[in-house]
Structure 1
Amino acid sequence: MQLKPISQQVVAVVGASSGIGRETALQFAKRGASVVVAARSQPGLESLVEEIRQAGGEATAVSADVAEFEQVKAIADKTVATYGRLDTWVHASATAVFGTVEQITPEEFKRVVDVTLMGQVYGAMAALPYLRQAGQGAFISISSMEGRRSLPFQSAYSTSKHGVEGFLEALRVELHHEGVPISITSIKPSVINTPFYNHGRTKLGVKPTGIPPYYEPSLVADAILYTAEHPVRDFIVGDVGRVLDVVQRLSPGLVDSILTAVGFPLQKTTEAKSENDSNNLYEPVSEDNRIQGDFGQWVIPSVTDWIDKNPVLKWGTVAGALIGVSALAIAAQVFNQDGEL
């Protein structure tokens, strides 16, 4: 499957007013793409479009709540009406309620699912007809490592991200069966330093935080731009996410034990915050359109992202690891047979 160079693409970025979505829109525009940005926060969108245009880029804004299909469809319609086609759809919208299952109301849980899961479903339904018309393209879903491993205090968000993974798997096979050249990618960030933890509703009595370490939003944007040109099924962002993925596959019970020990204290700050304080569950937090969050002191670099974007090196590393494991296995077998070796 061949995807266009970014400089020749028309890209829709949904959930673009802050955090990962905003950084991604800026990077697409910097690379020459025509960008349509969408979110609920009109001030955030206006400032983003102004920033892109001042840098010489091309951008258009659409205000939309992704929990409403018609509003999501309007993003796709506006993209094609303005630029003539759609090449890449990036879906980053999400919201969260931090608290135990018993603390979260049914209405709050449903709202998280409506935005974080159903918004992605609506995005695909809106984008796919236009991607088909273009003859190729990419649907890039910002999922999460919580789509692989759920966390305490984040049941609604984790449920939504697990649902996203199931949806993408079904969609990918359907398109493959039809021979439709549309790349379906799941980006799975580790803990990222965005305002996500400022914007979520909290039942904890304090402002929530991710389990450190954190990674920069630019790492996720880099992965998104890479997969907009290179068809990739899954892209985990952050070394810790890759370690978690392996450990979860090998021993979910071990991860249970680790999260029982650290998952509760490490997701709480000491800053008081009530569930009635500003949050984006039902309304945007229009005054906060930052890319980065409040936890820069816990940000670390990631090495394996670079390896994943260099397939030759990646498979060479895998082959080397397999050879090393095989050599150790042979040595162990010889030792067992001869005893004295």
Structure 2
Amino acid sequence: MRDRFDLLGFDRRGVGRNGKADCGEPEGGSALDTLATAEAPLQVKNPASVDSAARDYADSCSKKTAPIAAYLGTNDEARDLEAIREALGEKKLSLLMYSYGTLLAQTYLGEYPQRVRAAVLDGTVDPAQSGPAYALGTTHTLEEAAGDESPGRTAISPQLHKELGELNPGPPTLALLLGVVGADFSWPLTTNETLKQLATAPTVARDYAAAAHWPRTGPPLGALRADGLKPPPLLVNSEGHVRTPPAGAQAVAQRIGGELLTVPGKAHGLIGFGNSCAERAAVTYPINYTKPTTCVKGPTVERENFQVSEVRQSTVVRAADPMGTTQLRTATAGCGSRRAEREAREEVYFQFA
């Protein structure tokens, strides 16, 4: 893979060096904050008080994170990715997208199909589900936590681990969850209805109680579609994972005309976690557009350390867009030490989780 592609990633809006959206947690002891310590199923004694606290948090946080508060969704992120492609001077991109990043892949494929050379989606999220359904799907049961066990990530050199660690933006903030998930999925129109639909998970209810009051500029993603993609996108998915079940991946594959490769097990995230079948597919498909017909459960393989010559950071200045944003900053990682030896340069390969 490193012999054929430049590997790049970037900070999405509101993350890391791209204008971090962070308003902290709700005020301690407030009607909104106390939801997190309530017992399930959640029973709200004073819905009006919670709604007022949720509205106050959304109003103050959106003002603090202006002007990006209403422009954090994946539709905006897809336009950013297209701006990066233009800035790099690439005719087409090859995409490797993980988990929530698969929403970006679906959006970009639908909006810019002529700009994609090949696409691989690992652990596909279905945007047709509701916001509460998605949020509840991110919670862990003991059974799911056990199912998430995987052989582990590919070993990397200590120097690369240090350099990539410096680029790690950390866990998502509450403002980012509201700005991204609140924009990408459909949510109830009232705080009370949101709490009812999230009653089985009080902590999740606390996080998304303000979703009804967060500013938006357009409709949710919904059932995204892409037509006539050649080659068709490749979707890789565990057969038993709870958060990204194969039924959702199958529905997405049908809507975007993709190929689905189902892998035994319950792991979320297969490429780079030691699943040799999924990893072979990720390497071969963007090069010759072939995939395994099936994956069987078997031993994993050890791989050599990932050696790179450098991890570079760069800034791409984007022209003013409808929200009047300032700069789009990107983190560029993974230009391999053998890059100069390549005889033919392939298109950029984007990785996003």
TM-score normalised according to structure 1 size: 0.30
Whose helix proportion is higher, 1 or 2?
A: 1
